[in-house]
Amino acid sequence: VNYEEWSICKPGVACGVRENIDLFRFLREPLLRAFGEEWYDKLEWAAGEYNKHIDNGNH
């Protein structure tokens, strides 16, 4: 999955920042339709592992 910043999406990105919602969680339904539940579950796991790594001061 690639992420591109488009000017039309700026209000949605700002809302996500304000509400502290990860982009992939905001896009849960379309990602499930495109890739399936097993893929999305792995994404959730990977995000959790990444956040643990970052929370421990690792970059």
pTM: 0.76
Tell me if 4 sits within 8 A of 11, measured CB to CB: no
CA distance 40 to 28: 8
Half-sphere exposure for 21 (CA within 13 Å, toward CB): 13
pLDDT at position 57: 77
pLDDT at position 59: 64
Cα 16 from chain centre: 10
* Ordered mean pLDDT values, 10 residues apiece, the chain (59 residues): 90 92 93 98 96 80
